[in-house]
Structures are given as structure tokens and as C-alpha cells.
Structure 1
Amino acid sequence: MSFARVRALVVVGMLALVALVFVIVAMLRDTQSNAGLGEGCPADWPRADVTLREAKEVKIEVLNGTDRPGLAASVGDDFRNRNFKVEKESNAKKQIDDVAVLRYGPKGVGGAHLLRAYFLNAADHEYDPKITTDVVKVTLGNSFQQLATTTEVNQSLGDLGAPVAPPGSCPMADD
């Protein structure tokens, strides 16, 4: 073997060794390994489930907050066709002018995030830490026209990013 080959092998070996040491040091000094796990969170704050849910995992109640008869049933069918679990369809106690209002508790954060995409992030969302179920209440308003298409939902989810824990709550730690 020529001297040039030996020298090249030594240089490549040293570079590989330096890269391995660099990777090990970076992994040992990582300060973000527990990011988003709710450490340091007050004990009395609720733990929000910030896992983005699939439609088949999301339970919803559809409420008609307009004067259009049958809107809740029609939109409930649309949600069923998109694999959501529609628990109930009824009329809201009062009319709203918005596109929709999503009401949810700590267990419904991931589901509400998905539903925001179906309204192209035009729905208001109201987090209530006292709600103990994972059901998201969808109140349709006078500005509602239709649910987004699959492509629009995917684009909207990209724009929205990952679900985050609402103020006054902490992300649920992975078990």
C-alpha cells in the first residue's frame, strides 16, 4: 500500500472519530430532551391532551346556532361521512354570527385542533378546563357555509402546526 493511501485512510479515520465524539457530546448535553412534557407545571393545572387526533378518534356534538332548520343534522352527516363520531345533533340555546364555535376541555385539545382545520381556522375556540370529557361541541353560526375539503383540511393543518396546550393548562406527559 502506498504512503498516499495510508495517509488518506488515517485522515478519513480521524474525521469519523471526531464526528462520533461530536455526536455523543451533543446527545449528552441536549437540554431539550424533556421539552413539552409539562415538567415544572403547577400541580393543580389540568393536563391537556395535545396529540393531534384522527377523525375516527374525535367525538363531537353538533349544535345549530342559526335559524336554518336541519343544519345540525346535515353537518352531522357530513362529519359522519368524514369518520367523526357524532354523539348528538341539536339546536343551540342562542344564535351566533361566527362561522362556528368549538368548546372543549383538556381531553379535547387535539380533537378541537383537527376540527379547526375543517373550518379553515375561521372557527372561534373556547377552552374550558372544567369540561371533563373528550367531546368537542361544535356550534354552527350564521357565517357557516360548508366544511373544508380534504385538501383544504390538510393545508390548514400545515398552517396551524401542532396542537399546543391552552393557557392555564400543561401538555400531558407521554406515558
Structure 2
Amino acid sequence: MLLDLAEDVRRAPLAPAAQIRARGRTRARRRTTLAATGLTLVAAGAGTAALRLAGDQPPPASSPPPAAAPADPCAGLDLSLPADPGDIRVRVLDGAATAGLDQTVVRDLRERRFTQAIAAGEAAGRTDEVAILRYGPEAVGDAVVLRAMLRNQAVLQFDPGRDGAVELVVGDGFRRLATATETNQALVEAGKPTPPPECR
């Protein structure tokens, strides 16, 4: 039986060497192509995984919104003189050693038609000044008129957060309110109301 097998092998036609080498090259090319295709698929899979991981990450935090601009302290600035003393709202505080001086000043103001003058009923810090006038953007002209009633001797203090009422702190230097003539002269000397230093 072995002799028959050997005889069959001997009789089998052998392919030329060139044909065998060509077949070997074809197989090699197939293996190279398959390997390259496998690498491409691996790279694509890695890219997809990276994209998937990136998609799982939370989006980058957005930058905080810009801070709101501070409110304009001079918004609503009114430089007009009041048409009538009765239009001026004034709260009087006692900043002098003399008790009850705020009540006296309120009475004198009302005699001069400052009908909205009231005693605040609070003690202010004591001051040696004639008076201190605290006012807001809506009361620039009102403060000018009240200062003229004090012969332009009161200290002006602008407060952007204050409402339309003027706060009058009567100090130890106060003696009396001006007469009508003295008030008019003081108004002429003061000239037109101008913005406070904080609004220039």
C-alpha cells in the first residue's frame, strides 16, 4: 500500500516553481491586507470609544456672567429750585446741646411756609456746625433753598441713597433762621444749583 502511495506521488504533476512563488506572494498580500484592515478597525473602535468617553464628560463650565454695573448714584438728579417752600420736605434733628432746638426750628420753618417741616424726634450726633443738610439726588434744589435759610452756613452732605426729604441737623453754631431778605441774598450768592461733587 505504501508502494502505491509513493507511486501516486511520483506520478502527480508538479507545478512550475514560478507558479508556486506567485501563489506564495498572493497569500502574503492577503495576510498584509487583512492585518491592515484589522488595524484600521481597531483604530476606528478606539476613536469611537474616545468620542463616547468625551461625550460622557460634563460640558465645560461656562464663564460667570459679567457683574452688573453698579447703580448710578446720580440717577434722578434734580437741579431745579422748588416753586414753593411748601414743596420741600425737611426732617429736623437736634445736634446741639440745647434741648428742644429741633422743635423751635420746625416752628420757625412753618412760619416761613415750609409746611412739610417735621421734627424727627431723634437725637443726632452733636456738632459744632451751624447745621448739616443731608440730601439725595431728588432734593439738590431743596437743599440749596434750606441752606439759604441758614445764610449759606450749613454743611452739605450728599447721600445718593436718600429719598426726596432733606435732613436738617441743627448744631451748636445755630442762632436763628434768615429773614426773607437775607434768604434772597443768600440765594443770589449761591447761584443756580449745581451737581454735588460726587456727580461731577
TM-score clears 0.5: yes
Off by >3 Å, runs of 4+ in structure 1: none
Show the counterpart of 2:154. 123
2:135 matched to 1:104? yes
Write out per-residue CA displacement over residues 80-107 of structure 1, whole angstroms, 9 at most, x where no aligned residue. 1111111333243310000000000001
Q: 1:50 aligns with which of 70, 79, 94?
A: 79
Amino acid at match of 2:178: A
Show the counterpart of 1:83. 113
Higher strand share: 1
Greater Rg over alpha carbons, structure = 2
Q: 1:62 aligns with which of 92, 104, 107?
A: 92
Check whether the contact 2:95–2:123 (CA below 8 A) recurs between aligned residues. Answer: yes
Q: CA deviation at 1:48?
A: 1.1
- 5+ residue gaps, structure 2, are 1-70
Show the counterpart of 2:10. none
Q: Distance in 2 between matches of 1:91 and 1:98?
A: 18
Q: CA deviation at 1:70?
A: 1.2
Amino acid at match of 1:130: G
Secondary structure at 2:144 match in 1: helix
The number of equivalent residue pairs is 128
Higher helix share: 2
Structure-1-length-normalised TM-score: 0.68
Alignment of structure 1 residues 27-42 onto 2, 5 Å: none
Structure having greater relative contact order (Cα 8 Å, sep ≥ 6): 1
Check whether the contact 1:61–1:87 (CA below 8 A) recurs between aligned residues. Answer: yes
Q: 1:93 aligns with which of 107, 110, 124?
A: 124
- 5+ residue gaps, structure 1, are 1-42, 171-175
Q: CA deviation at 1:61?
A: 0.4
Cα RMSD, aligned residues only? 1.8
Show the counterpart of 1:158. 188
Amino acid at match of 2:95: G
Q: Distance in 2 between matches of 1:116 and 1:124?
A: 8
